[in-house]
Chains A and B, each alone.
Chain A
Amino acid sequence: MLAFLLRRIGQSAFVMAAMALIVFVGVYALGNPIDILINPEADQIEREQAIARLGLDRPLWEQFWIFVKSAASGDLGRSFVHGVPAIDLIVSRMPATLELAFVALVLSIGLGIPLGLAAGVKPDSFVSRTIVTGSIFGFSLPNFWLGLMLILLFAVEWKILPAGGRGETRTLFGIEWSILTLDGLQHLILPALTLAIYKASLVVRLAYAGTREALLQDYVKFARAKGLRPSRILGVHVLKAILIPVVTVIGLELGSMIAFAVVTETVFAWPGMGKLLIESIYRLDRPVIVAYLIVVVALFVAINFLVDVIYTLLDPRVRLSEREA
Chain B
Amino acid sequence: MSILPLETQARETALGRGWRAFAESRMAVLALGLVTLLIGVALAAPWITPQDPYDLTQLSILDNMLAPFSQSLDGRSFWLGTDDQGRDMLSAILYGLRLSLFVGVAATAIALLAGTTVGIVAAYFGGRIDAALMRLVDLQLSFPAILVALILLALLGKGVDKVIVALVSVQWAYYARTIRGAALVERRREYIEAAQCLALPRRRVIFRHLLPNAFPPLIVVATVQVAHAIALEATLSFLGVGVPITEPSLGLLIANGYGYMLSGKYWIAFYPGIALLVAIVAINLVGDRLRDVMNPRLRR
Instruction: Return chain A residues, CB-CB under 8 Å to B261.
Output: 148, 151-152, 156
Q: Do A136 and B285 contact each other (CB < 8 Å), given the known contacts A27-B155, A156-B264, A296-B147?
A: yes
Instruction: Return chain B residues, CB-CB under 8 Å to A143.
Output: 235
Instruction: Return chain B residues, CB-CB under 8 Å to A15.
Output: 139, 142
Tell me whether A152 and B143 are in contact (CB under 8 A): no
Tell me whether B276 and A137 are in contact (CB under 8 A): no
Give chain B nearest CB distance to A21 CB in angstroms.
12
A26 and chain B: residue at smallest CB distance: B155
Instruction: Return chain A residues, CB-CB under 8 Å to B61.
Output: none
Binary flags per residue of B18-37, CB closer than 8 Å to A gives 1, else 0: 00000000010000000000
Stretch at the interface among A179-187, A217-225, A253-261: A253-261
A163 within 8 A of B: yes
Q: Do A300 and B143 contact each other (CB < 8 Å), given the known contacts A141-B277, A144-B238, A149-B273?
A: yes
Q: Do A278 and B281 contact each other (CB < 8 Å), given the known contacts A140-B227, A255-B144?
A: no
A318 within 8 A of B: no
Give chain B nearest CB distance to A22 CB in angstroms.
9
Instruction: Return chain B residues, CB-CB under 8 Å to A30.
Output: 155-156
B258 within 8 A of A: yes
A314 within 8 A of B: no
Instruction: Return chain B residues, CB-CB under 8 Å to A300.
Output: 142-143
Which residues of A in the span 136-159 have a Cβ within 8 Å of any Cβ on B?
A: 136-137, 139-145, 148-149, 151-152, 155-156
Taking a contact as CB atoms closer than 8 A, the residue among A27, A267, A281 that contacts B241 in the complex is: A281
A148 to B269, CA, bound (A): 8
A213 and chain B: residue at smallest CB distance: B297
Taking a contact as CB atoms closer than 8 A, the residue among B142, B155, B254 that contacts A145 in the complex is: B254
Tell me whether A163 and B262 are in contact (CB under 8 A): yes
A289 within 8 A of B: yes
Tell me whether B262 and A136 are in contact (CB under 8 A): no
B150 within 8 A of A: yes
A126 to B251, CA, bound (A): 34
A18 within 8 A of B: yes
B239 within 8 A of A: yes
Give chain B nearest CB distance to A19 CB in angstroms.
8
Instruction: Return chain A residues, CB-CB under 8 Å to B235.
Output: 142-144, 263
Tell me whether B254 and A148 are in contact (CB under 8 A): yes
Which residues of B in the span 120-157 have a Cβ within 8 Å of any Cβ on A?
A: 139, 142-144, 146-147, 150-152, 154-156
Chain A contact-residue range equals 35 or more
Instruction: Return chain B residues, CB-CB under 8 Å to A163.
Output: 262
Taking a contact as CB atoms closer than 8 A, the residue among A27, A152, A282, A296 that contacts B240 in the complex is: A282
B293 within 8 A of A: no
Instruction: Return chain A residues, CB-CB under 8 Å to B285.
Output: 136
A234 within 8 A of B: no
Tell me whether B284 and A263 are in contact (CB under 8 A): no
Q: Do A152 and B270 contact each other (CB < 8 Å), given the known contacts A133-B27, A263-B239?
A: yes
B110 within 8 A of A: no
Tell me whether A142 and B147 are in contact (CB under 8 A): no
B240 and chain A: residue at smallest CB distance: A282
A68 to B97, CA, bound (A): 45
Instruction: Return chain B residues, CB-CB under 8 Å to A281.
Output: 150, 154, 241
Tell me whether A140 and B266 are in contact (CB under 8 A): no
Instruction: Return chain A residues, CB-CB under 8 Å to B241.
Output: 281
B186 within 8 A of A: no
Instruction: Return chain A residues, CB-CB under 8 Å to B251.
Output: 142, 144
Give chain B nearest CB distance to A325 CB in angstroms.
15
Binary flags per residue of B237-261, CB closer than 8 Å to A gives 1, else 0: 0111100000000010010001001
A298 within 8 A of B: no
B238 and chain A: residue at smallest CB distance: A144
A289 to B155, CA, bound (A): 11
Instruction: Return chain B residues, CB-CB under 8 Å to A289.
Output: 151, 154
Give chain B nearest CB distance to A263 CB in angstroms.
6
A304 within 8 A of B: yes
A10 to B76, CA, bound (A): 68
A302 to B123, CA, bound (A): 30
Binary flags per residue of A109-153, CB closer than 8 Å to B gives 1, else 0: 000000000000000000000000100110111111100110110
Q: Do A18 and B147 contact each other (CB < 8 Å), given the known contacts A151-B261, A152-B261, A278-B239?
A: no
Q: Do A293 and B281 contact each other (CB < 8 Å), given the known contacts A144-B254, A145-B254?
A: no
B281 and chain A: residue at smallest CB distance: A140
Binary flags per residue of A281-307, CB closer than 8 Å to B gives 1, else 0: 110000001000100110010001000
B151, B227, B266 interface centre (most CB from chain A within 10 Å): B151
Write the residues of chain A forming the contact surface with B, with a CB cutoff of 8 angstroms. Answer: 15, 18, 26-27, 30-31, 133, 136-137, 139-145, 148-149, 151-152, 155-156, 163, 255-256, 259-260, 262-263, 266-267, 277-278, 281-282, 289, 293, 296-297, 300, 304
25 A-B residue contacts at CB 8 Å? A26-B155, A30-B155, A31-B155, A133-B27, A140-B227, A140-B284, A142-B238, A144-B254, A145-B269, A145-B276, A145-B277, A148-B273, A149-B270, A155-B262, A256-B146, A259-B143, A259-B144, A259-B147, A260-B144, A263-B146, A263-B238, A277-B150, A281-B150, A281-B154, A281-B241
Q: A140-B284, A266-B239 are in contact. List 8 more A-B contacts (CB 8 A).
A: A15-B139, A137-B281, A142-B251, A149-B273, A156-B262, A262-B146, A263-B146, A304-B142
Nearest 6 CB-CB pairings of A with B:
A259-B144, A256-B144, A145-B273, A259-B147, A281-B154, A140-B280
